[in-house]
Structure 1
Amino acid sequence: MPFAQVHHRAVHYQWADHGQPHTLVFINSLGTDLRIWDEVVQRLGTSVNMLRYDKRGHGLSEGTPASQLATGTMDAFTDDLIGLLDVLGIDRCIPVGLSVGGRIALVLADKQPERVERLILCDTAHIIGTLQSWDERIRAVQTLGLEQLSGQVMERWFTPDFGQHNASTVAIFRRMLMACAPADYIRCCEAVRDADLTEQARRIGHPTRCIVGTGDVATPPALVRQLADLITGADYHELEGSGHLPCVDNPARLTTLIADFLHD
């Protein structure tokens, strides 16, 4: 089980070097870990090199000590990824970011454009939510805890139809959410709340593919379309019936969109 020391914290990752010319770096959403990409990775097989990792305080990655806690920023979460890429010697990659992971991908492309070959942005946007909505969520985590909020979060991740027919899968993801370190979950909320990435999106010069589920209530299609319109030359695709986690509820179609983009 591989771990890397990044900024004095243990980061859990999975690195599959298949000797291919392209390297995908999968970046998870808030409250999830690298397992969300399992079915996509399985379908891609050995056709591309792939890196997955858990953000700080998520999955098996070490959280931030209480003595070092500060307001979360997109730069801090992006620097964690940059540090991991440095440790592994990955000089060039294609970030595949979901939700907050897509925002990390955007900041990476803006900070180190030479490191990014192209971008795949899933169910994400330059602005997600409002100051009030994020403050309310942070207060709820502080007072109620993630377990009490998990039902509401599942309703934002999955469509009612998926939840009705895949109760066991939803239960797995509820446990995944509850395993997060609350302090680092809050830091991630703060990072999303405080960062307007409109200008970063406008500066992107990389080939970019934006993807969204038509049933996503967290980052609705209209919002993801706005992001695509900000990025010069970006294309836009909707996954019919998918929610906020298409890698879970429609991995076959998402894998096709990823694989096709590698060769466009």
Structure 2
Amino acid sequence: MDIATIAGLIAGIAFIAIGILLNANLLTYYDLPSIMITLGGTIASTLISYPLSNVLNTLGIIKNVFFVKRQNPKEIMDIILNLANTARREGLLALEEAAYQLDDPFMRKGILLIVDGTDPELVKNIMETELNYIEERHKQGWGLLETMGNYAPAFGMIGTLIGLINMLRNLNDPDTIGPNMAVAITTTFYGSVLANLIFLPMAQKLKVRSAEEMLLKELVLEGVLSIQAGENPRIIEEKLKAFLPPKLLSVAEQEVEQQREEALNNG
């Protein structure tokens, strides 16, 4: 579970609610016509903009905003280095059995391609093509939420116009001025909250998730191509360190130094 997302959402709702309670009652800000105009209009425009299958798929993707299984780049690098050492000692064919034990389908595909003797350029093209499709699927998810974030304030303004029109048409009836003004102002409020607290932050979180996943897959791609090229595992390690965050990089360097010291002591 992503604590930051949960905490941010709760904090945003809480601060808005507290701000309202300091001067008014929460029920003052409840207006069913405003909800129908803002939320209903946003959903309707989204359905017009995207195929129904995309909208339904995004509902499943939204769970990634709250729940995510993070992969450790250091662990992935260690797996690649183990494969590189195996290939250096026993040859590429020895990697076939290890490939079927890998949890990462992307890495498994790359290893099996090089075991089959596929041309290096073709391996690169196949894996980069899959990367492009993965990134495109990610874009559909956060792109739809961004679209909803853009529509929500627009329908808030539409609700404001509706309320003002109704108010101006009934200026002679003082009893209708208040309800019409409530619709006019509340729809703008709803539109801003939906866009800036729900849709756009969720889209941004999915962008961050996508960038993290793509970086890890780039690490895997670089490692697979290096193994196929028969590069020294130490050289591969230095290349893959470029993908590690500074904190993990320092830990990795400390582990390498510790291993060297242990080797010297044992020697």
Instruction: Give the helix-richer structure, 1 or 2.
Output: 2
Larger Rg: 2
**Which structure's relative contact order is higher, taking Cα pairs within 8 Å and 6+ residues apart?**
2
Taking structure 1 as the reference length, what is the TM-score of the superposition? 0.20
Taking structure 2 as the reference length, what is the TM-score of the superposition? 0.20
